[in-house]
Chains A and B, each alone.
Chain A
Amino acid sequence: MSNLILLNPEIILACAGLLILLAGAFIGESRAKLLFHLGTISAAAVLGMVVTQAVMAAYGNGTMWVLDPAAQLFKFIILLATVFTLLLSVNYHAIQPRHVGTYTALVLWASCGMMFLSGAMDLIYLLISLELISISCFILTGFEQKNPRSAEGAIKYFLMGGLSTAVTIYGISLFYGATGTTNLFNYVSSVDLHFNDPAYIMGMLFILVGFGFKISMVPFHFWAPDAYEGAPTPITAYLSVASKLAALGAMMRIFASVIPHYAISSTLVIAVLAALTMTVGNLTALFQTNVKRLLAYSSIAQAGYMLIGLVVADPIGRESVFFYALAYLVTNMGAFAVAMVVAGKTGSYELDAYDGLARRSLGLSIVMVMFLLSLAGIPPLVGFVGKFYLFASAVNSHTYLWLAVLGVVNSVVSVYYYMNIARRMFFSESKDVSAVETDIYTAGVIFVTSAATLLMGLLPETFMRIVKGCVSFHS
């Protein structure tokens, strides 16, 4: 219990959520935006705490959790995504003023669950963090009550989420039966003991389903496009960045460090799923006409690329996943921010809305092209560097050279649909030529993310050095 102090950031964030929920009941509708600011400030303050902890190297173990450099890196990513999400929400039209308190509190609690998840070392603790994320995100997805799309996205998300939770819990019960504990600290020494126990291997595969659902791994990805399209756009960005990366972090901890997948001979399963994830994501994205759906399928494909690092699972593989996580955070957040601005002006998420955007707002178009190029992996942007590290780790391992080749082929395919948006912006005409304005909060997010996309691409060594310092898992 003495180490509870290490969980202070999470505790403070949860309390801030409670206070904001309470404040929401007392603040008049005209001043509701204050709550977004309070939420942003508390997330930023906790971000400061996490960085301070990292600088002071205040690491340690709890009974069911661990605070190590890897957990700190993912907490940093999650909190950054939370700050961006709340800033994007400030001027989002569909959130009613009287629900701002609930909305902000739910975002903070989901982030709190993600922070717990990134340090989980006990399967029950892990399950409760996953549920805290899921339940908050179900509500957030269905937040536009009057919008049937939002409700439908939320119910589909909920049904698939409930199913995957049930399968995960069943897996944990099998794991408990095979090992007599749900705690992963005590477990480590006995890998060999359970090597061939079918209940144990089945349990681990069932647990993989739960993670697969969260990171939208094929074949558990069916909820993603519907939930992403239905959800309020800031929440779409949040789901695609924070929720996915937090689950990926925990997945790296469990399947690449604590119970390595090669020790339970399931590497090939994960490799095939990674290959399927990127291929299905990219091929389906080719046929999309709605930007939110397109970005949803693109983010499924991105999860596939990141799974390559998990398959390789050596220090280089881990480094590359962590670096790609940072790259994906800034790039995808920026792309959704631009999509939100365009939809705010034109009222539509269809691709037609991008016709002639360059003439209406040149800055926005250039930045959007940058994000899309980075997602496709074109130098000198950060997406290229990230993909380079990922594919290099696969090439290094020799066994998974085919994954790297498939990854490169997929990147080439993805250029087509990303550049289709760019083509519409620069080479198509639109009837409406009025300028597209960006409010100050969204502009701030777009500025920061685009600057990071460019800087991290130009100076990858500097950022890679930071990431290398964060790569060690405690076990």
Chain B
Amino acid sequence: MTLSYYLALSGLLFTIGLFGVLTRRNVIGILMSIELMLNAANINFVAFNRFLYPGQYAGQLNAIFIITLAAAEVVVGLALVMAIYKNIKSVYVEDYNILKG
């Protein structure tokens, strides 16, 4: 296994995530796509650390930080989805159209 396999995997995950964010109609789906993108970055960090800078811990530490950040973000995100679901009774983004202009 070389670095390039890992980078290809992370690039693929990132692209799938970005595609999902741009095309999904369901808010939960968009949230999941964002998580995919975050994990693509994690794979990058750990793979770079393992193959390019084997003496360090910085990459692995960063990955742990990012997992924590992602958890914090998704908690707030789901709470906001709950809040809007109570108001609008829909999880589809095209129904969120009170604000425009």
Which residues from A are CB-within-8-Å of B16?
A: none
The smallest C-beta distance from B88 to any residue of chain A, in angstroms, reads 6
Contact assessment for B48 and A163 in the assembled complex, using a CB-CB cutoff below 8 Å: no
Given A149-B98, A152-B96, A153-B99, A170-B80 contact (CB < 8 Å): no
- The answer to whether A180 has its CB under 8 Å from any CB of chain B is yes
Contact assessment for A131 and B73 in the assembled complex, using a CB-CB cutoff below 8 Å: yes
| Chain A positions 229-254 with a Cβ under 8 Å from a chain B Cβ | 229-230
Contact assessment for B77 and A131 in the assembled complex, using a CB-CB cutoff below 8 Å: no
Contact of B76 among A139, A181, A226 (CB under 8 A): A139
| Chain B positions 58-101 with a Cβ under 8 Å from a chain A Cβ | 58-59, 62, 65-66, 69, 72-73, 76-77, 79-81, 83-84, 86-88, 93, 96, 98-101
Contact assessment for A152 and B37 in the assembled complex, using a CB-CB cutoff below 8 Å: no
- The answer to whether A25 has its CB under 8 Å from any CB of chain B is no
B interface bracket (residues with beta carbon within 8 Å of A): 35 or more
A interface bracket (residues with beta carbon within 8 Å of B): 35 or more
Which residues from A are CB-within-8-Å of B96?
A: 152, 155-156
Which residues from A are CB-within-8-Å of B27?
A: 155, 159
The smallest C-beta distance from B75 to any residue of chain A, in angstroms, reads 9
Contact assessment for A166 and B34 in the assembled complex, using a CB-CB cutoff below 8 Å: yes
Stretch at the interface among A285-293, A365-373, A420-428, A431-439: A285-293
Which residues from A are CB-within-8-Å of B41?
A: 166, 169-170, 172-173
Contact digits for A447-462, partner B, Cβ 8 Å, 1 yes 0 no:
0000000000000000
Contact digits for B17-56, partner A, Cβ 8 Å, 1 yes 0 no:
1000100000100110010011011101100110011001
Contact assessment for A163 and B21 in the assembled complex, using a CB-CB cutoff below 8 Å: yes
Q: CA–CA, A162 to B80, complex, Å?
A: 13
Q: CA–CA, A139 to B83, complex, Å?
A: 11
Given A142-B80, A165-B73, A170-B44, A159-B30 contact (CB < 8 Å): yes
Contact assessment for A173 and B44 in the assembled complex, using a CB-CB cutoff below 8 Å: yes
Which residues from B are CB-within-8-Å of A230?
A: 99
Q: Nearest residue in B to A290 (C-beta to C-beta)?
A: B101
Query: In the complex, which of the residues B17, B56, B76 has the most CB atoms of chain A within 10 Å of its own CB atom?
Result: B76
Which residues from A are CB-within-8-Å of B44?
A: 170, 173-174, 176-177
Q: Nearest residue in B to A163 (C-beta to C-beta)?
A: B21
Given A127-B69, A145-B83, A169-B38, A152-B101 contact (CB < 8 Å): no
Which residues from B are CB-within-8-Å of A153?
A: 99
Contact of B99 among A139, A158, A165, A225 (CB under 8 A): A225
Contact assessment for B14 and A170 in the assembled complex, using a CB-CB cutoff below 8 Å: yes
Chain A contact residues: helix, strand, loop or mixed: helix
Which residues from B are CB-within-8-Å of A177?
A: 44, 48, 52
Given A162-B73, A169-B41, A172-B41, A226-B48 contact (CB < 8 Å): no
Which residues from B are CB-within-8-Å of A287?
A: 101
Q: CA–CA, A211 to B76, complex, Å?
A: 21
Q: CA–CA, A280 to B8, complex, Å?
A: 37
Chain B contact residues: helix, strand, loop or mixed: helix
Contact assessment for B101 and A166 in the assembled complex, using a CB-CB cutoff below 8 Å: no
Which residues from B are CB-within-8-Å of A138?
A: 76-77, 80
Contact assessment for B77 and A158 in the assembled complex, using a CB-CB cutoff below 8 Å: yes
Q: CA–CA, A181 to B45, complex, Å?
A: 11
Q: CA–CA, A350 to B10, complex, Å?
A: 47
Q: CA–CA, A152 to B92, complex, Å?
A: 12
The smallest C-beta distance from A395 to any residue of chain B, in angstroms, reads 35
Which residues from A are CB-within-8-Å of B72?
A: 131, 135
- The answer to whether A363 has its CB under 8 Å from any CB of chain B is no
Contact assessment for A170 and B81 in the assembled complex, using a CB-CB cutoff below 8 Å: no
Given A167-B37, A182-B58, A182-B62, A154-B101 contact (CB < 8 Å): no
Contact assessment for A128 and B69 in the assembled complex, using a CB-CB cutoff below 8 Å: yes
Given A174-B44, A176-B58, A177-B52, A152-B99 contact (CB < 8 Å): yes
Q: Nearest residue in A to B72 (C-beta to C-beta)?
A: A135
Which residues from A are CB-within-8-Å of B101?
A: 225, 287-290, 293
Contact assessment for B80 and A176 in the assembled complex, using a CB-CB cutoff below 8 Å: no
Q: CA–CA, A170 to B66, complex, Å?
A: 11
Contact assessment for A151 and B52 in the assembled complex, using a CB-CB cutoff below 8 Å: no
Contact assessment for B88 and A151 in the assembled complex, using a CB-CB cutoff below 8 Å: yes
The smallest C-beta distance from A183 to any residue of chain B, in angstroms, reads 8
Residues on B facing A (Cβ under 8 Å)? 10, 14, 17, 21, 27, 30-31, 34, 37-38, 40-42, 44-45, 48-49, 52-53, 56, 58-59, 62, 65-66, 69, 72-73, 76-77, 79-81, 83-84, 86-88, 93, 96, 98-101
Question: Could you jot down 5 A-B contacts, CB within 8 Å?
Answer: A124-B62, A155-B80, A163-B37, A176-B59, A180-B56
Residues on A facing B (Cβ under 8 Å)? 124, 127-128, 131, 134-135, 138-139, 142, 145-149, 151-156, 158-159, 162-163, 165-167, 169-170, 172-174, 176-177, 180-182, 225-226, 229-230, 287-290, 293
Given contacts A142-B83, A170-B40, A293-B101, 13 further A-B contacts (CB under 8 A): A127-B65, A127-B69, A128-B69, A131-B72, A148-B84, A159-B21, A166-B34, A169-B38, A170-B14, A170-B41, A176-B48, A177-B52, A230-B99
